[in-house]
Amino acid sequence: MAKKQYTDKELMQMAIDVMNKSINEPRPDGKVPPKVGAVLLFPDGRIETAFRGELREGDHAEFTLMERKLANENLEGCILFTTLEPCVERNPPKVPCCKRTTNARIKKVFVGIEDRDPTVDGKGIKHLEKHLVEVKMFDREFQRIIEQENKDFLKQALERKIEKEEEDLLSPIEIAIPNYDRSKLSDKALQKFIDEAKLDYKINDDHFLEYLSDFGAMEWDKDKKHFVPTGFGVLLFGNNPRAKFKNAVLKAHVTYGDEKIEPKDFDEALVLLPDQIEDWLKKVLPLAKDTSSFKRKDVPDFPTNVLREAIVNALVHRDYELAEAKCEIKIDTNKIIVTSPGKPLPAITLEELNSFEAPSLSRNPIITYVFSLMDYVEEKGFGMKTFKTLNKEYGLPIPKYTYKNPFLTLTFPRTTEAIKYVIDKGSINELNKDELKAFETFRSNKPVTKAEFVEYSDLATRTAERLIKKYVDLNLIKVQGSGKSTKYIINE
């Protein structure tokens, strides 16, 4: 009898079911342990599972699975599903779970969520990738469940001060900046953070500086007996971030035909930029009449909330270690382009970005954390909900992500005809406006049946069939499956 074939989603759910059996040991220090579940898929379809504390109090799920249950078995070729990023540090002679995984020669790992504890916080994933392990994140729907079940652990993990970091994985912007002190930070930026995050602190309160140090924006200098801002602290709250980081700027350009609007640099503390950028967008975007109420009013002809979200994502998730590369926004008659230095993280694909369902993973967790407290982003995720609404709510085409070293670029077509600017195929020019509008159905990067295309496009069945054939003939979409299970997906 053939072994059962599992889908990735089924194994993600299985790991969560196992996670919920976790037996968390009592901790006299009040530290909340995480709930963790691990599932191992063997090449022949066999499944083995483990959860934290299953066989012995305090034992990690991966340790229980690989060392206590499967110590004498060959795990090469297995696929691991674990609900929490594998740990990086254990007291000798214990081996961290990330190293245990690579020692077992496991070459593919699905990770539920990042471990926000500063001693891990992405370093477990980096270790796996450094050892040529293919890392994928759980789908966002499962990540939300894991986060909810571990909310107390995650809250504590974010509050803990960094005790130890692996030097080979430590980013320069995580390190305290020599000869800097509190005076290098902007009172205006700090006060805005306090107000927006609804914190009960005064900007010159020592407890506030301790709070900033808890999540990595400051660091206590034992010799000088005062707090020193880290690179992240300067980027987020600095008086003049570009004095230390020349690339800490968003450069904005607007061109309408022969008309050019004066370029603008946004280079103040990061926490000040979202509101400044939104005010600028309202000034430079052409106005249209909003007739949704009895009283007409002038509004920008492109939704500023969508562009603000795109720009905030660019600032939050960019690679600040690329010294000469800068964020940019370019606006012209046909399109709006937002560029951000840094390729997508290995666990996130362009396909996932273009479906606007990218899993939760952040290159700069400290910036993401601060912006989430201020309600600028969805914590640890890309938060691209508004991108999905462009076609339905505003009648505008959805945007598209592309990557050309070293920039991740997001292009917003401003009209139906401007879709041609984001499809890298000459055959797109053979479509008229109505055919381009119907083509939007396939630009979600998800497989679509003929019936779904008819429903989404509101076309007659025969018209829809004719269009599908045309799209296929032009190599714009491709066929998946056959018979009743036939679906169509964009052909990138």
The CATH number that applies at residue 445 is 1.10.10.10
Q: Average pLDDT over the chain, rounded to whole?
A: 88
Q: Is residue 58 part of a domain?
A: yes
Q: Is residue 446 part of a domain?
A: yes
Tell me, what's the pLDDT at 165?
43
What's the rounded Cα separation, in Å, for the pair 285 and 299?
9
Give the domain range for residue 187: 172-243
Question: At residue 89, does pLDDT exceed 90?
Answer: no
One domain for residues 353 and 475: no
Helices (H) and strands (E) in the chain, counts: 17, 17
Number of domains in the chain: 4
How far, CA to CA in Å, does 87 sit from each of 113, 122, 147, 183, 467? 12, 10, 17, 36, 51
* Tokens at 143, concatenated: 């990540």
One domain for residues 157 and 184: no
> Sign (positive/negative) of CA torsion 20, 25, 26, 29?
negative
Tell me, what's the pLDDT at 297?
53
In this structure, the chain runs to a length of 492
Last residue within a domain, chosen from 387, 418, 449: 418
How far, CA to CA in Å, does 152 sit from each of 14, 87, 116, 208, 368? 22, 18, 12, 22, 19
Question: At residue 170, does pLDDT exceed 70?
Answer: no
Where is mean pLDDT largest: 182-186, 282-286, 423-427? 182-186
Radius of gyration, alpha carbons of the chain: 25
Tell me, what's the pLDDT at 401?
93
List of residues 6+ apart from 468 with CB closer than 8 A: 450, 453, 477, 488
Last residue within a domain, chosen from 133, 168, 203: 168
Of residues 290 and 302, the one with the higher pLDDT is 302
Of residues 476 and 261, the one with the higher pLDDT is 476
- Mean pLDDT in residue range 297-302: 68
Tell me, what's the pLDDT at 387?
84
* Tokens at 115, concatenated: 């471990």
How far, CA to CA in Å, does 299 sit from each of 84, 185, 187, 293, 398? 45, 36, 33, 13, 20
DSSP 8-state symbol, 286:
P
Tell me, what's the pLDDT at 379?
47
Question: At residue 433, does pLDDT exceed 60?
Answer: yes
What's the rounded Cα separation, in Å, for the pair 342 and 55?
43
HSE (CB half, 13 Å, CA atoms) of 92? 0
Q: Give residue-wise pLDDT tens across range 339-365.
A: 999 998 888 888 888 888 777 778 898
One domain for residues 230 and 194: yes
Question: At residue 162, does pLDDT exceed 50?
Answer: no
One domain for residues 440 and 339: no
* Tokens at 347, concatenated: 């666990």
Percent pLDDT > 70 in the chain is 93
We report the CATH number of the domain holding residue 319 as 3.30.565.60
Work out the number of other CB atoms within 10 angstroms of the CB of residue 26: 8
SS3 state of residue 37: strand
What's the rounded Cα separation, in Å, for the pair 489 and 127?
34
Question: At residue 290, does pLDDT exceed 60?
Answer: no
Last residue within a domain, chosen from 184, 213, 243: 243
Q: Is residue 335 part of a domain?
A: yes
Biggest CA-to-CA distance, the chain? 78
We report the CATH number of the domain holding residue 110 as 3.40.140.10
Question: At residue 276, does pLDDT exceed 80?
Answer: yes
Tell me, what's the pLDDT at 158?
76
Going by their DSSP bridges, the two strands 400-404 and 226-229 should be labelled as unpaired
Tell me, what's the pLDDT at 299?
59
One domain for residues 291 and 406: yes
One domain for residues 359 and 458: no
Question: At residue 9, does pLDDT exceed 60?
Answer: yes
Q: Give residue-wise pLDDT tens across range 112-135.
A: 999 888 778 788 999 999 999 999
User: Contact 186/236 with Cβ under 8 angstroms?
Assistant: no
Question: At residue 166, does pLDDT exceed 70?
Answer: no
Per-residue pLDDT band for 25 (boundaries 50, 70, 90) equals confident
Of residues 398 and 380, the one with the higher pLDDT is 398
For the CA atoms of 103, 104, 106, 112, the dihedral, rounded to the nearest 10 degrees, stands at -80
